[in-house]
Chain A
């Protein structure tokens, strides 16, 4: 039984169990832990493990807002939350949600920060005193009169944090605050988290990426509503089997050390490098010879030079602007061949989605043209294009409407007037490919986010396109679901479908893509092989895109490795 006295703790949770109304099993099961004042706890786990449920319990959204059976005790700074309303807890526990659009209510930044203070009835003079320090804390000083909607994703999320900081709560809970952000936005938010921690705030951060939580004091891993692990990051991250069993991606560096049989912790690339050199001194001796590897990739793959066949899809000198606005695409040329696997990367607003919409015909170029199978796409209707090039939107909920999974998938072929037998055959084929055949009679709205994402793929796959564009296909998915999604995409590519993914995730690019297209302010500034891309230090830096840590570690040894397995195999071969 949990037996820590509640007095000095920022958060004290004892025996908390919560079962959502109508659910067969509890979402949280007898969870107990204590958080010391000024401590930062990182909470990890697969989707459905209970992370967000726990966060909502800490500010009484559960059980006040969500219907279900709640048991247990929660104290904040020694005070029990029992019988308090969510709004009563707001001054004690600041909560920042994943969906930043839904937590901004005002028309200027200063007013947004004042919103919570207005709600608790604070006088104007005190509000005035608190607004600037709160904005300063999140690096938004000088933005007071800006419209929150005009801010970038990272700035919006920092503003949401400023607005809870203004109430000066003793605990701040961040529930996957960077899921919808690009690498620059993620970096901004985690730099802020580090600053808040340095100021002594008690923080609970829910996050999927283990690398981001290395600086935490403790990592708590949840599995099916229970605490599966709780300890310092060095200890928890060393348990790679447990992490993977819980649907958490272990940090690449720690995983590599474990596979190499090195009993050491690595909190940075330097740590991992030192540990490997200590274990394999011969590697250090060969460094000079190997450094050539990082300049010359094993498989240089500049597709424009290496191209052998004719392009399945070609974009020729396409430029585009929304209305009278600035150019969103600027003289873009791009060729996609059958069997290509391309990752389009770039900061938010760089033109990635606009480019995809040009390909599928949702937008028309101001200049230039898009050629699909030798035909000018301007002469094709969107429905006609859909049979050649399919587009999976970032949010699967933007298309799901049918009562069953089967009907949802059959919607496309029905629009093309296919016979019932043919529709049934194609639906079976598509559902089999995405692993949802057994769910054919299920209600699509009851599926998990990962399953809904795969359903969205099946819904366009059923049209048997020759090219598939996926916009951020892994956003909001846990590691297990991400792997499953990407295994599906890889299988489709092996079956001959050209794949284009729009992504912000470096390890996805490294492990799955064969070619990278980098956009910046609507212009294509890189188009080449993945290895070549990850060697362009200056390009990566200026685009706020980082190579995976394992790639950086490999380069310290003069070897450009894209995956942990590739790096480990290379070390073992050399050592």
Chain B
């Protein structure tokens, strides 16, 4: 089973300079951060849909479809409970179903989905090495940028190991679904300890293997792959600046909030 999200394709997004890709991730987060209104989130969403189509990243979205669904659904519902502004449309216990709470809840759901989608698109089109290189070019020290990018590689390995551990404990008659929410969390101790111990062992092995391959020899390691800046990078950079500016202007003018929809 593939445990990484990177999909090796030759699209122009894949070929963009790593620094532009890291910058694009930052701009996506920035653009989503400033606005709450679902309509104001639409431009970023459309750009993401276009990139997903262009890069054929749909298999990764399909793999994570339940995560997206749960995230959007639970966030929307949660905000409909806590956001208690505006005139009630339907009288339901606990929930405050108003036009405002609906818009705000849906907006929050889309916001989270877009943050997740930006990450999925980035990881679908960016190799670990490019991520490291991109961070380095943004003046992040090599050791830090390598550690950040390596963590993306380790997380799926730990998830894989956790799945095996859950299986092993189930086969000893352990039921993870007993009790209330707190008890259920507590019942994961027989998983957390082996995962933690395994992670320490794996991290130790990896650290030894890294140093044995010369990691730390030079503060400025060279790069095997040449990443020339092309015209596409400049256009993409300009486009990203425009997108980030648009989102900020939506916030600045108040159009990105939920006020105008009252």
Given A105-B128, A397-B201: A415 and B174 interface contact (C-beta under 8 Å): yes
Report the minimal beta-carbon distance from B162 to chain A, rounded to whole angstroms: 10
C-alpha spacing A86/B211, complex, angstroms:
6
Report the minimal beta-carbon distance from B245 to chain A, rounded to whole angstroms: 33
The stretch that binds B, out of A33-41, A95-103, A305-313, is A95-103
Q: Is the CB of A362 within 8 A of B213?
A: no
Q: Is the CB of A383 within 8 A of B212?
A: no
Q: Is the CB of B224 within 8 A of A416?
A: no
Q: Does B119 contact A (CB under 8 A)?
A: no
Q: Which of B170-186 contact A (CB under 8 A)?
A: 170-175
Q: Which of A91-150 contact B (CB under 8 A)?
A: 91, 94-95, 97, 99, 101-103, 105-108, 110-111, 114-124, 127, 131, 145, 147, 149-150
Q: Is the CB of A401 within 8 A of B190?
A: yes
Given A65-B208, A118-B221, A383-B170: A397 and B198 interface contact (C-beta under 8 Å): yes
Residue of A nearest to B193 (CB): A401
Report the minimal beta-carbon distance from A118 to chain B, rounded to whole angstroms: 5
Residue of B nearest to A382 (CB): B170
C-alpha spacing A401/B189, complex, angstroms:
8
Given A105-B128, A119-B214: A415 and B175 interface contact (C-beta under 8 Å): yes
Q: Which of B202-249 contact A (CB under 8 A)?
A: 202, 205-218, 220-226
**What chain B residues lie within 8 Å of A97 (beta carbons)?**
205, 208-209, 212
**What chain B residues lie within 8 Å of A323 (beta carbons)?**
1
Q: Is the CB of A401 within 8 A of B194?
A: yes
Q: Does B56 contact A (CB under 8 A)?
A: no
Q: Is the CB of A386 within 8 A of B217?
A: no
Q: Is the CB of A412 within 8 A of B173?
A: yes
Q: Does B169 contact A (CB under 8 A)?
A: yes
How many interface residues does B have (CB within 8 Å)?
Answer: 54
Q: Does A390 contact B (CB under 8 A)?
A: yes
Q: Is the CB of A149 within 8 A of B4?
A: yes
Q: Does B127 contact A (CB under 8 A)?
A: yes
The listed residue (B167, B194, B218) touching A119 by CB distance below 8 A is: B218
C-alpha spacing A360/B171, complex, angstroms:
8
Given A105-B150, A124-B226: A90 and B129 interface contact (C-beta under 8 Å): no
C-alpha spacing A164/B167, complex, angstroms:
37
The listed residue (B153, B208, B221, B222) touching A105 by CB distance below 8 A is: B153
Tell me how many residue pairs across A and B have CB atoms closer than 8 Å.
178
Q: Does B157 contact A (CB under 8 A)?
A: yes
**What chain B residues lie within 8 Å of A88 (beta carbons)?**
217
**What chain B residues lie within 8 Å of A20 (beta carbons)?**
none
Given A97-B205, A398-B198, A411-B190: A90 and B217 interface contact (C-beta under 8 Å): yes
Given A119-B216, A119-B217: A463 and B172 interface contact (C-beta under 8 Å): yes
Q: Is the CB of B194 within 8 A of A383?
A: no
Q: Which of B106-137 contact A (CB under 8 A)?
A: 127-129
Q: Does A163 contact B (CB under 8 A)?
A: yes
**What chain A residues lie within 8 Å of B150 (beta carbons)?**
105
Q: Is the CB of A59 within 8 A of B212?
A: yes
The listed residue (B4, B175, B218) touching A121 by CB distance below 8 A is: B218
Q: Is the CB of A411 within 8 A of B172?
A: yes
C-alpha spacing A115/B224, complex, angstroms:
8
Given A97-B205, A105-B128, A400-B194: A85 and B216 interface contact (C-beta under 8 Å): yes
C-alpha spacing A163/B226, complex, angstroms:
20
Q: Does A322 contact B (CB under 8 A)?
A: yes
**What chain A residues lie within 8 Å of B222 (beta carbons)?**
117-118, 121-124, 127
C-alpha spacing A106/B4, complex, angstroms:
12
Q: Does B25 contact A (CB under 8 A)?
A: no
**What chain B residues lie within 8 Å of A102 (beta carbons)?**
202, 205-206, 209
Report the minimal beta-carbon distance from A149 to chain B, rounded to whole angstroms: 7
Contact with B along A46-72 (1 / 0, CB 8 A): 000000000010010100110000000
20 A-B contacts (beta carbon < 8 Å): A86-B211, A87-B214, A87-B216, A102-B209, A103-B205, A105-B128, A107-B129, A110-B224, A121-B221, A122-B222, A167-B214, A382-B171, A393-B164, A393-B167, A397-B201, A398-B161, A399-B165, A401-B190, A415-B173, A445-B197
Give 18 new A-B contacts, CB below 8 A, not counting A90-B214, A95-B212, A105-B128. Answer: A59-B212, A86-B216, A87-B216, A87-B217, A103-B209, A106-B129, A107-B4, A110-B224, A119-B213, A120-B218, A147-B4, A323-B1, A386-B172, A398-B161, A401-B189, A401-B193, A415-B173, A416-B173
Nearest 7 pairs between A and B by C-beta?
A: A415-B173, A119-B214, A114-B224, A103-B209, A401-B193, A90-B214, A86-B211
